[in-house]
């Protein structure tokens, strides 16, 4: 399936909003979406969500022969799978541009920057080494896949434990988890990718872009930063002006973000090890209970409209206006309120109805939920 086309008016609307420093989902220009990390039952399984973007990471290991050129180093394979589950235009074959970009950027950030100590994975030089496989699956694509995937990768690798081995005269013994405690991987530094979307010839930079913002942006800039203020990977696609200035601006923000994300990962890891120790239920149970693991909540769009347009047809019910603190005008179109206790719709022909709904998390919107028509 092809990627759905963005209409010109949608693009223009978004660009106009960004030039006024407003984002469609109400965030500030430098606000990130909520980041949550959940670990599964097995070591090395983790699910990360940034707003609605969800990525599942799983680390596994096996014993293999090392590469001929590096006989005493372990192997690390990173694979990002874009399945049609994440977005309808993803194909299972690995040929698409976004999958290559994701894969290569993560490889650069994690493999090429030597984030994992591969020499400690060697068992018998030139014969047996541990081969670590990191598989990331994109569960839902709502923008900023690279950030989410990098957090999932780092969290999964930090969480993973490999079995303990011993080389005896009889051969290699691999101990089960119950017999000998598994060993975590040696992580030398913690690279995190932070993405920025650039609009208006470099004048407006937006952090953690949503899917629409990504597609409309003139350039997307990703920085891989670690806790020691080092850049592990840089990637700019698209075209923007005054490159070095942008790099400087973004680098500082990226560093702050990387530090806070790494702190969150460490915190969640500590909590998880506590839970494991205390034998309570752990894993994805929490997400399933809340019903959030598969639900796709439509973000509510709240736009303060400054100019009052003449109301064409009927009298508006003043009772709703008092509850909507921000939205003023109802010309003819659909408006949705932020505190959704009242849903107001207004069409030119029908008599205005006010529906009172109890506090719901998702409201069925009309098809053009992304567009607010103001006539």
> Could you identify the residue written with the tokens 């990331």?
136
Shortest CB 240 distance to another protein, Å? 6
By the 8 A CB rule, do 208 and 191 touch? no
SS3 state of residue 258: helix
Looking only at residues 242 through 301 of this chain, which bind another protein when binding is defined by CB under 8 A?
A: 242-244, 246-248, 251-252, 255
Q: What is the CA radius of gyration of the chain?
A: 25
Q: How many alpha carbons fall within 13 Å on the CB side of residue 141? A: 23
Residues 6+ apart with CB under 8 A from 243: 236
171 binds another protein (CB under 8 A): no
Min CB(49)–another protein separation in Å: 27
Rounded Cα distance between 1 and 84, Å, is 9
Q: In the bound complex, what is the minimum distance in angstroms from residue 30's beta carbon to another protein?
A: 18
Q: Phi and psi at residue 248, in whole multiples of 5°?
A: -60, -50
Please give the Cα distance from 6 to 4 (Å, whole number): 6
The binder of another protein chosen from 18, 134, 155, 234 (CB under 8 A)? 234
Distance, in Å, from the CA atom of 250 to the CA atom of 350, rounded to the nearest integer, reads: 50
Nearest residue to 78 (alpha-carbon basis) of 174, 193, 219: 193
Our finding on whether 200 is near another protein (CB under 8 A) is no
CB of 225 to another protein, least distance (A): 7
- Burial letters for 192-207: b for 16+ Cβ neighbours within 10 Å, e otherwise? bbbbbbbbeebebbbb
Which of 240, 320, 327, 344: binder of another protein (CB under 8 A)? 240
The yes or no reply on residue 100 touching another protein (CB under 8 A) is: yes
Q: How far is the CB of 35 from another protein (least distance, A)?
A: 22
Q: Where are the alpha helices (DSSP H) in 74-210?
A: 97-106, 145-159
CB contact at 8 A, 330 and 316:
yes
Q: Which stretch binds another protein (CB under 8 A): 13-21, 57-65, 101-109, 267-275?
A: 101-109
| Residue among 22, 89, 104, 128 that touches another protein (CB under 8 A) | 104
41, 77, 203, 229: which one binds another protein (CB under 8 A): 229
Binding of residue 111 to another protein (CB under 8 A): no
Q: How many residues bind another protein (CB under 8 A)?
A: 39
- Exactly one of 19, 65, 83, 237 binds another protein (CB under 8 A); that residue is 237
Q: Which two tokens stand for residue 234?
A: 């840089």
Single residue of 68, 97, 178, 364 touching another protein by CB under 8 A: 97
Per CB under 8 A, 230 contacts another protein: yes
Q: Minimum distance from CB of 92 to another protein (Å)? A: 16
Q: Which residues bind another protein (CB under 8 A)?
A: 2, 95, 97, 100-101, 103-104, 108, 112-114, 189, 219, 221, 225-226, 228-244, 246-248, 251-252, 255
């Amino acid at each position: 399936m092809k990627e759905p086309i963005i209409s010109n008016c949608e693009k223009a609307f978004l660009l106009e909003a960004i030039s006024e420093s407003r984002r469609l989902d109400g965030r500030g220009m430098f606000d990130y979406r909520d980041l949550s990390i959940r670990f599964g039952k097995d070591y090395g399984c983790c699910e990360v969500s940034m707003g609605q973007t969800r990525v599942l990471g799983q680390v596994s290991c096996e014993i293999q022969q090392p590469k001929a050129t590096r006989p005493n180093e372990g192997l690390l394979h990173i694979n990002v799978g874009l399945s049609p589950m994440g977005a309808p235009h993803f194909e299972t074959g690995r040929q698409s541009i976004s999958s290559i970009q994701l894969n290569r950027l993560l490889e650069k950030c994690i493999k090429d920057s030597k984030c994992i100590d591969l020499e400690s994975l060697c068992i018998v030089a030139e014969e047996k080494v541990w081969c670590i496989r990191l598989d990331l699956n994109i569960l839902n694509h709502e923008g900023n896949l690279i950030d989410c995937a990098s957090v999932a990768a780092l969290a999964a690798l930090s969480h993973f434990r490999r079995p303990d081995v011993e080389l005896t005269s009889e051969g290699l013994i691999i101990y089960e988890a119950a017999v000998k405690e598994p060993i975590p991987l040696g992580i030398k530094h913690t690279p995190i990718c932070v993405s920025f979307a650039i609009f208006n010839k470099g004048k407006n930079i937006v952090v953690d872009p949503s899917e629409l913002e990504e597609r409309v942006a003139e350039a997307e800039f990703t920085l891989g930063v670690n806790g020691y203020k080092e850049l592990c990977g840089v990637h700019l696609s698209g075209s923007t002006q005054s490159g070095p200035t942008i790099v400087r601006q973004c680098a500082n923000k990226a560093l702050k973000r990387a530090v806070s994300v790494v702190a969150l990962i460490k915190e969640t890891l500590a909590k998880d090890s506590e839970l494991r120790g205390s034998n309570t239920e752990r894993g994805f149970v929490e997400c399933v209970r809340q019903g959030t693991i598969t639900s796709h909540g439509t973000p509510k769009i709240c736009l303060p409209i400054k100019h009052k347009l003449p109301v064409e047809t009927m009298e508006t019910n003043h009772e709703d206006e008092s509850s909507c603190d921000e939205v003023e005008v109802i010309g003819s179109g659909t408006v949705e309120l932020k505190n959704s206790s009242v849903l107001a719709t207004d069409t030119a022909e029908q008599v205005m109805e006010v529906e009172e709904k109890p506090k719901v998390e998702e409201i069925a919107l009309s098809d053009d939920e992304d567009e607010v028509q103001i006539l």
